[in-house]
Structure 1
Amino acid sequence: MSDPRPDRTSRLPFDLDWNLLRTYLVIVEERGITAAAERLSLKQPTVSNALRRLEERLERKLIVRKPGRFEVTPEGDMLYQGAVEIFGTVSRLPVLLRRKGEEVVGHVTMALASHVVSPHLDEVLTEFHQRHPRATFTMDVSTSLNVATAVLQKRASLGICLVHKRLPQLQYATMFREYFGLYCGPRHKLFGKTGLDLSDLRGETFVSFQTDRLTDALRPVAMMRASAHIDGQRVATSSSLEEVRRLIFCGLGVGSLPLHIARADEKNGLLWRLPPYEDPPAIDIHLVWNPRAHFNRAEMGMLEMLRSMIESTPMSCRDYI
């Protein structure tokens, strides 16, 4: 004889406080209760209590928290992936509810890494605006990881960023390739010196991008620095190209920048190129989009124009050496 009592699982969509899911998303993304509380502008006990309530309601351990340890359980990871889809769909509801005429106008949210400097992107934006002058844009600059997350959660229409690990839910196309060199600023002892070799850089302090590590997206750049034995103190890091450039210019240490971006500063005497001069490390910058997103017509048009540019332009022309 079957149990006449209702299954708690079947009641979950009706009983669950959806705010708990939103809080859980932020906890996982921020890798901690304290950081999540700061992002949500809530008190730490409130966020901690929300996690406890969610675990009790689901009867599953979602996160293991111990001193110096934050680990999402397999069940917690499954919940996170599902929650991303849920909130991504909810965030797109205004697009689905717009009248047909409004969709033609449309709004495009683009998430970009800070060092996206591309004449091809500029040309597409110019042409798109000329064709659709009433379309509007939001350009959000963030870390490459946050760019991908924003696209995954459908908070951004498109993303342009470095890619360390591809997410199976997203699609990617190489937009352009840039090359990195090492530089110092006018206040540095090596500025203006010629005939330098790698031995002159040994032990120098350095500044870097946050992803400039052997285990991250700028691994080739980190390997270049290691080959030059620049093993002094890492004085500062930033996810912003402009801030890394500022740190180099101010003499805090040597640092790496894309060659095509630093060239104007070299010409104006603001930066000095350091060895190695041959075989600079190459980094691919990708266009990223979510095929499960419900695009408005402006978003779809922008995506199609970017993809058309990529497909019709030889990689040699998108190679910014």
Structure 2
Amino acid sequence: MSDPSHRYHPDRIARELDWNLLRTFVVLAESHSVTDAANRLGLRQPSVSAALKKLEDRIGRKLLDRSPGHFALTDAGRLLYREAVEINGSVLRLSTLMRELTDEVQGNVRITVASHVVSPLLDNALARFHAKHPKATLSIEVFSSADAIAEVTAKRASFAVCLVKDHNPKLEYRRLFREFFGLFCGPPHPLFGKPDLSLRDLAGHSSVSFETDRLQDVLKPVTVMRAQAELGQKITGISSHLEEVRRMIVAGLGIGPLPLHVAARDVRDGLLWQVPPYEGLPAIDVHVVWNQAAVKNRAEDLLLQEILNAIDTTPMEERTYR
């Protein structure tokens, strides 16, 4: 009589599992439907459905619940996706194992950053790196902080520069700089240009803000500041990109939060006006986040080390932008 546990035996799964099935499953798990996954993979829908069924047969578990209006991973599917994402990242980075045979550094560094990170320390580190290794290339992509970290976790990005809510024990973190947020309005706003404002003057005015401006999210201190200002419950605009929050503030849609050092030029140019509070403003830390388990090419190693050295040799006061 055969042992039913044989179908889940690690040796059998390792021997029979096709990597292409796992790759298809990762895309499926990150899609909204089989049709969506097929489009992203450049395949026909029946081919994707067949790949899913074959993978479920190999694993011995149902991985995806599908019905009209419902498309969700099962418990087994979530577990497999968590592991498959890391495997996917490792496979995509296999070429980095072939180190350059010349003395010149020629690799590419893919950095994911939160919207509108402004840091002279980071800029100077990039300048020094390029001067030393002019044949190395950079790819810098803007994501929400959560998505930027997800790219690092999946080994699809070299490292991230972003806000951090919770620390993943699989990742490494180093604080790059600290910024302070204030509240601002634009020229069309009735409070623009008015001196000697108090918090009472803000009460009831509509506001714009970031998607992460929530008590349970990374910009909680900013949420508390807005609440203390007794701004109205109506939020007329929201975005995950700082540039778009700034755009809505300048356009007069409402009062909104921005980092002081980022808004400074617009204040000088007459595009923004700071409103209360002026003291005790919330501090937000921006971190460099990387995956120690990811195999890195020489360019990635050297740029990350350049940034970490800059952090180590620059006092926190000089990395605090008020």
Q: State the TM-score, normalizing by the size of structure 2.
A: 0.88
The structural deviation recorded for 1:186 is 0.4
| Contact 2:172-2:289 at 8 Å conserved across structures | yes
Q: State the TM-score, normalizing by the size of structure 1.
A: 0.88
Amino acid at match of 2:131: Q
Instruction: Specify whether residues 245 and 45 from structure 1 end up closer, same or farther in structure 2 by C-alpha distance, changes over 3 A only.
Output: farther
CA distance in 1, matches of 2:169, 2:302: 24
**Deviation by residue 1:249-272 (Cα, 9 ceiling, x = unmatched):** 111111110000001100110001
- 5+ residue gaps, structure 1: none
CA distance in 2, matches of 1:56, 1:169: 31
The structural deviation recorded for 1:115 is 2.5
Amino acid at match of 1:120: L
Instruction: Specify whether residues 23 and 210 from structure 1 end up closer, same or farther in structure 2 by C-alpha distance, changes over 3 A only.
Output: farther
The structural deviation recorded for 1:312 is 1.4
The structural deviation recorded for 1:78 is 2.5
Structure 2 equivalent of residue 178 of structure 1: 179
Q: CA RMSD in A?
A: 3.0
The structural deviation recorded for 1:185 is 0.6
Amino acid at match of 1:167: N
CA distance in 2, matches of 1:47, 1:216: 36
Instruction: Specify whether residues 87 and 244 from structure 1 end up closer, same or farther in structure 2 by C-alpha distance, changes over 3 A only.
Output: same
| Contact 1:103-1:297 at 8 Å conserved across structures | no
Amino acid at match of 1:139: I
CA distance in 2, matches of 1:75, 1:297: 37
The structural deviation recorded for 1:180 is 0.5
Kindly, what percent of the aligned residue pairs are identical?
Answer: 50
Instruction: Specify whether residues 107 and 147 from structure 1 end up closer, same or farther in structure 2 by C-alpha distance, changes over 3 A only.
Output: same
| Contact 1:33-1:47 at 8 Å conserved across structures | no
Correspondences of 1:35-74 after superposition (within 5 Å): 37=37, 40=40, 54-62=55-63, 73-74=74-75
Structure 2 equivalent of residue 21 of structure 1: 22
**Deviation by residue 1:188-220 (Cα, 9 ceiling, x = unmatched):** 111111221122222222111111111111111
CA distance in 1, matches of 2:240, 2:103: 36
Structure 2 equivalent of residue 222 of structure 1: 223
The structural deviation recorded for 1:13 is 3.7
Instruction: Specify whether residues 212 and 68 from structure 1 end up closer, same or farther in structure 2 by C-alpha distance, changes over 3 A only.
Output: farther
Instruction: Specify whether residues 197 and 52 from structure 1 end up closer, same or farther in structure 2 by C-alpha distance, changes over 3 A only.
Output: farther
Instruction: Specify whether residues 228 and 5 from structure 1 end up closer, same or farther in structure 2 by C-alpha distance, changes over 3 A only.
Output: closer
Q: Does residue 1:308 correspond to 2:309, yes or no?
A: yes
| Contact 1:188-1:251 at 8 Å conserved across structures | yes
The structural deviation recorded for 1:105 is 1.9
Amino acid at match of 2:95: P
Amino acid at match of 2:235: R
Correspondences of 1:1-321 after superposition (within 5 Å): 7=7, 9=9, 10-29=11-30, 32-33=32-33, 37=37, 40=40, 54-62=55-63, 73-101=74-102, 104-321=105-322
Instruction: Specify whether residues 51 and 5 from structure 1 end up closer, same or farther in structure 2 by C-alpha distance, changes over 3 A only.
Output: closer
CA distance in 1, matches of 2:273, 2:50: 53
